[in-house]
């Protein structure tokens, strides 16, 4: 029987606009983009030119430090733009789809790591420490797969898994040839493909967000010590591997959740990694106010636009009000029933399971760090979150290591950032701290 881990720390935020279990068809847009910033820790080197014809699975760019790590096209067509920014930083490589989806074929009978590298699927592996694209030369002590996301407005992976159970198991079996596999499952999930998965250790997690974060799961199963390496994947990315083994071709189709209070009909849609969002959002957003469109989850995603592109790891597109035109009489002093508060500052806590409509405002300016213990109430890891943040801000590397920075990723601080009365950008701070530490240890 699978081990059950009960998590008491955390916070579930009940947001309006949860997706209904219905999948809509989306007209394929003309353009797709692969964005290097979605793959942390990579120095990209473009291997195509504008006007080149590519197939699904052909490399668009590689990592300069590890050229065997490839980043491949999700569609067949023509390279339409190699977009660069300041100091020639690569912003994206765009492909104009031809609608044929001609795919490159791969030999699936050889070494599994070589296959993942050649097909570009290895680029989806993340490595702890540092939460960056995995180094193929490393030997991980384990591979952690999380099969659920506990953040608000997130994708229900159990729904996305329907019809893909065989591919998911094939992916797990393939991963088990690289290292021991740990699969994290929610107590609410009942699909046998998850609860009875083979060639892995299944652990059930029961608790509020961020219970679905792979970092939380690593912390409770196999904490990372200095010198150790762990690789991580999401459930959708395991399916990518299973499809490749089954067909010999790369298929980067995701079932994403289109959700949020400003979506007319929250639902699911099958889209490709890097797909332009225009046709997905067209006619399905509320009008009359400015909107914040987020590629990814409302807590951890990246701000984008209607003609932006789906991030490589994103399993949601969330849409909420921007809030820049809000006009609240007397501000916070009003005894509100429709405003959420973790400290019961408003009477909304009396409303039971009320759904809340949030906007993108911070509602306050950055101020001195308040050591009130509020991080610890929502941070279910054996780490002193507040002291770790202070160590990162002050650049105390020895103290960062002692406080467990090797185990964390920016997303692990999303809920703490949400409740933070100091209004600090905790995820940005952690990302910068990890980048600096990585350079120091290079």
Which residues are 317's β-sheet partners? 258, 296
Any idea which of 43-57, 188-202, 358-372 has the lowest mean pLDDT? 358-372
* Mean predicted confidence (pLDDT) in 47-76: 98
Identify the structural domains of the chain with CATH numbers, from first to last.
3-16+137-247 (3.40.50), 253-351 (3.10.20), 374-440 (no CATH)
**Helix (H, G, I), strand (E, B), or coil: what is residue 403?**
coil
pLDDT given at position 373: 86
- pLDDT bin (cut points 50, 70, 90) of residue 333 is low
| pLDDT tens digit sequence for 295-309 | 999 999 999 999 999
Helices (H), 226-301: 235-247, 278-281
* Coil, strand or helix at 5: strand
DSSP 53-117: EE-BT-EEEEESS-TT-EEE-SS-EEEEEEEE-GGG-EEEEEEEE-SS--B-----SS-HHHHHH
Whether the per-residue pLDDT at 350 is higher than 90: the answer is: no
* pLDDT tens digits, one per residue of 48-61: 999 999 999 999 99
Q: Is the pLDDT of residue 348 over 70?
A: no
Is a pLDDT exceeding 70 seen at residue 286?
yes
The pLDDT mean for the chain works out to 94
| Other CB atoms within 10 Å distance of the CB of residue 439 | 8
Predicted confidence at residue 259, as pLDDT, reads: 98
* Alpha-carbon gap, residue 104 to 106, rounded angstroms: 7
Residue 325 has pLDDT above 80, yes or no: no
pLDDT in tens, 247-265: 999 999 999 999 999 999 9
Whole-angstrom distance, CA of residue 317 vs CA of residue 153: 9
Task: Judge whether residue 210 has pLDDT over 70.
Answer: yes
Give residue-wise pLDDT tens across range 104-140.
999 999 999 999 999 999 999 999 999 999 999 999 9
The mean pLDDT value for 279-288 works out to 93
Q: What pTM did the predictor assign?
A: 0.96
pLDDT tens readout for residues 408-424 = 999 999 999 999 989 99
| Max intra-chain CA distance, the chain | 68
């Amino acid at each position: 029987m699978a081990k059950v881990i009960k998590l008491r720390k955390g916070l579930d935020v009940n947001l309006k606009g949860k997706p209904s279990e219905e999948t809509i068809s989306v007209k394929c847009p003309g353009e797709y983009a692969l964005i290097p910033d979605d793959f942390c820790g990579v120095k990209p080197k473009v291997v195509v030119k504008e006007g080149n014809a590519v197939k699904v699975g052909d490399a668009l760019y590689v990592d300069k430090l590890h050229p065997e790590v490839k980043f491949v096209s999700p569609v067949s067509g023509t390279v339409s733009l190699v977009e660069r920014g300041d100091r020639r930083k690569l912003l994206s490589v765009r492909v104009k789809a031809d609608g044929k989806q001609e795919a490159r074929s791969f030999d699936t009978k050889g070494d599994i790591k070589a296959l993942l590298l050649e097909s570009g699927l290895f680029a989806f592996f993340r490595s702890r420490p540092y939460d960056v694209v995995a180094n193929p030369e490393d030997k991980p002590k384990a591979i952690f797969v999380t099969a659920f996301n506990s953040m608000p407005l997130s994708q229900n992976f159990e729904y996305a898994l329907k019809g893909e159970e065989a591919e998911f198991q094939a992916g797990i079996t393939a991963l088990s040839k690289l290292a021991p596999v740990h699969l994290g499952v929610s107590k609410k999930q009942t699909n046998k493909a998850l609860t009875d998965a083979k060639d892995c250790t299944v652990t059930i997690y029961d608790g509020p967000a961020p219970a679905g974060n792979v970092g939380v799961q690593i912390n409770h199963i196999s904490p990372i010590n200095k010198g150790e390496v762990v690789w991580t994947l999401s459930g959708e990315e395991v399916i990518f591997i299973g499809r490749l083994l089954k067909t010999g071709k790369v298929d980067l189709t995701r079932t994403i959740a289109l959700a949020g209070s400003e979506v007319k009909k929250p639902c699911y849609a099958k889209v490709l990694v890097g797909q332009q969002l225009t046709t997905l959002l067209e006619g399905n957003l509320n009008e009359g106010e400015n909107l914040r469109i987020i590629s990814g989850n409302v807590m951890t995603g990246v701000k984008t636009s209607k003609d932006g592109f789906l991030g490589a790891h994103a399993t949601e597109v969330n849409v909420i009000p921007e809030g820049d035109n809000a006009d609240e009489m007397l501000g916070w002093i009003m005894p509100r029933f429709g405003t959420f508060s973790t400290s019961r500052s408003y009477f909304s806590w009396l409303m039971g399971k009320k759904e809340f409509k949030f906007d993108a405002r911070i509602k306050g300016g950055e101020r001195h760090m308040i050591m009130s213990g509020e991080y610890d109430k929502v941070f279910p890891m054996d780490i002193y979150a507040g002291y770790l943040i202070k160590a990162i801000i002050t650049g105390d590397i020895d103290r960062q290591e002692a406080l467990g920075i090797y185990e964390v990723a920016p997303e692990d601080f999303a809920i703490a950032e949400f409740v933070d009365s100091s209004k600090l950008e905790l995820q940005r701070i952690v990302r910068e701290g990890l980048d600096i530490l990585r350079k120091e240890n290079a």
